[in-house]
Structure 1
Amino acid sequence: MSEELKREYRVCEEIGRGRFGVVFKCYSPGTGETFAVKSINKLLIADDSIDRQCLYNEAKIMHLVSPNPHIVRIVDVCEDDTYLDIVLELCNSSDLFHRLSTQRVFSESDAIAVMVPLMEAIAHCHRLGVAHRDIKPDNILFNDWNDLKLADFGSAQCFCEGELMSGVVGTPYYVAPEVLAGRDYNEKVDIWSAGVILYIMLAGIPPFYGDSTEEIFEAVLRANLRFPTRIFRSVSPAAKDLLRRMLCKDISRRFSAEQVLRHPWITSNDGTKEDGVVA
């Protein structure tokens, strides 16, 4: 970690690890406030690589989308020749991946409690011209007050209205088919990923799966969305309607974040209402 970080903060235990960075808990000696710090070794990243560009984009984009109640707050950036350290709000209360591992299937009301702040965070990013591009349960954190916080903008990209993006980024199971197909794409890749999360919360399994990464990608490219009766017997028509609109292969028909937030399943706060299907 950078000398600047060591001067300003006291670094404690490791709490996470990524491809290029390690996340530590730290605190400010002056205020006693605790934070998380993502420490990235720049020597591990080639100067001309896309990863180097993403490295510097992350802090810039986090400043752009902050403050927002549903996005991890950036506190400070420290740097020297070797390390880039991003000091962040500390979210101590696990992540959605952990909650899915322990709870497996969510009630519709519990799923709504996740989807509303998540989609508000995504809508906020899209209004500001930012696509996250790696929405997945590991990047959905909770703080001590159980507030949802969208994290990890390492793959995020700024866009102008009507402008398309390129590059294969994302995570198996959650990546949108247009990304895997190598086509240019827009910010609706985030809606697809959020739709996969909603499906997993309600079903306990992903909508598109396989025994290997290659098989998963093939299933995502086919995008054959199904609702097995045995699993979806108790899931409301409104919830399934929203899933069809989020996991729609036709990007022009796929919902925007704002449309998701206006869907009756979301606005009614009661996924059991059968009249909540959008015509």
Structure 2
Amino acid sequence: MAIKIMSRHNALFSTNYIAGRHLGIGATSRVFECYARNSNDKFAAKKAISKDIIQFNRSKKEEAYLEKLNNHPNICNLHDIFYEEDDDGQYVKHIVTECGENSLANLASTVHIDEKYLKQIVIQMLHAILHCHNNNICHRDIKLENFIYINSYNLSHASPMFLNTINIKLIDFGLATNYHKDYNLTGKVGTVSYVAPEILNNSDYTPKIDSWSLGVSIYKIIIGNPLINHTKIDFFNPTYKNHKWNTYSTECCDFVQQLLTINAINRLSIHDAINHSWISA
């Protein structure tokens, strides 16, 4: 039996793209490079497989969010979507997006990012999350691994202009959800070392969970280690007695600490974070 095209395109993914190297794997999907057959342009493809058509259709919210957020300079742009049914009766989805050089997690582990360039990167991260929140979408998995960078000028990492020219993009909306300002969100989701205390406490929460996760991401860039490696709320008191912390300005440190406020009511929202003195200066 031939692979059946279900919707979106009157063509198969394999007819349009050549699969390349593996980039990552999730609970229900894997990501790999791919190349357009008609141009050889490089993209990233996320492949998800399901045996349940109902679950498969529910999973289509990720591409719906990408379509809604498309064409923002700090959101990974959607290029193609393919829905297919294979010979085994499994439902296969390919989401094709632009491909970055690597993740911010990789960059932060290989390149020292001083405060001047850190602020430029954080501003781009903020604008990505703000665009989500302005469209009533909470990402729920903000972390360094979910930001890629585009090195448009193909500069060496050793170049003094490298960090000054990279374009930061937010990816992976698999855990994202819509929200309404009058209702809290529920669901224990996210990456443990990045999730906000209210999620670990099994409490309702607001989009300020993205603020916390952004704070953890910046903290990790500065210190080099995650804020926590466990799930015990008792230890949710970040310590700032690291010598690396003292090399950053008071405004920068205050910004991170306000994102890492345990009580979500007092935590900076992404809208307020954009106007913080460190960002706006």
Do the structures match in fold with TM over 0.5?
yes
Matched, 1:102 2:102: no
- Please list, as runs of the form range in 1=range in 2, the aligned pairs for 1:56-75 lying within 5 A after superposition: 56-75=60-79
Residue identity in the other structure for 1:55: S
Taking structure 2 as the reference length, what is the TM-score of the superposition?
A: 0.84
Q: 1:164 to 1:235 in 2, by over 3 A?
A: same
Give identity over the alignment, percent.
27
SS at match of 2:251: helix
Of residues 122, 126, 140, the one that matches 2:129 is: 122
Aligned equivalents of 1:221, 1:76: Cα separation in 2: 45
Higher strand share: 2
- Please list, as runs of the form range in 1=range in 2, the aligned pairs for 1:13-24 lying within 5 A after superposition: 13-24=21-32
Instruction: Report the CA distance between 1:163 and its aligned residue.
Output: 2.0
Q: 1:200 to 1:12 in 2, by over 3 A?
A: closer
Instruction: Report the CA distance between 1:129 and its aligned residue.
Output: 0.3
Matched, 1:151 2:171: yes
Q: Which residue of 1 aligns with 2:95?
A: 86
- Please list, as runs of the form range in 1=range in 2, the aligned pairs for 1:1-279 lying within 5 A after superposition: 4-43=12-51, 55-81=59-85, 82-91=91-100, 93-103=101-111, 106-145=113-152, 146-207=166-227, 209-210=228-229, 216-218=230-232, 220=233, 222-228=235-241, 230-268=243-281
Q: Which residue of 1 aligns with 2:162?
A: none
Q: What whole-Å deviation, never above 9, does each CA across 1:15-35 have from its counterpart, x for those lacking one?
A: 332222222222333344322
Contact 1:2–1:78 at 8 Å: present in 2 too?
no
Contact 1:24–1:38 at 8 Å: present in 2 too?
yes
Aligned equivalents of 2:99, 2:210: Cα separation in 1: 24
Residue identity in the other structure for 1:80: E
SS at match of 1:36: strand
> Which consecutive unaligned segments of at least 5 residues does structure 1 have?
211-215, 269-279
Aligned equivalents of 2:208, 2:132: Cα separation in 1: 12
Q: 1:2 to 1:109 in 2, by over 3 A?
A: farther
Aligned residue pair count: 255
Q: Which residue of 1 aligns with 2:9?
A: none
Taking structure 1 as the reference length, what is the TM-score of the superposition?
A: 0.84
Residue identity in the other structure for 2:118: A
SS at match of 2:122: helix
Residue identity in the other structure for 2:38: G
Q: What whole-Å deviation, never above 9, does each CA across 1:84-134 have from its counterpart, x for those lacking one?
A: 11111121x11111112223x531112112100000000010000000000
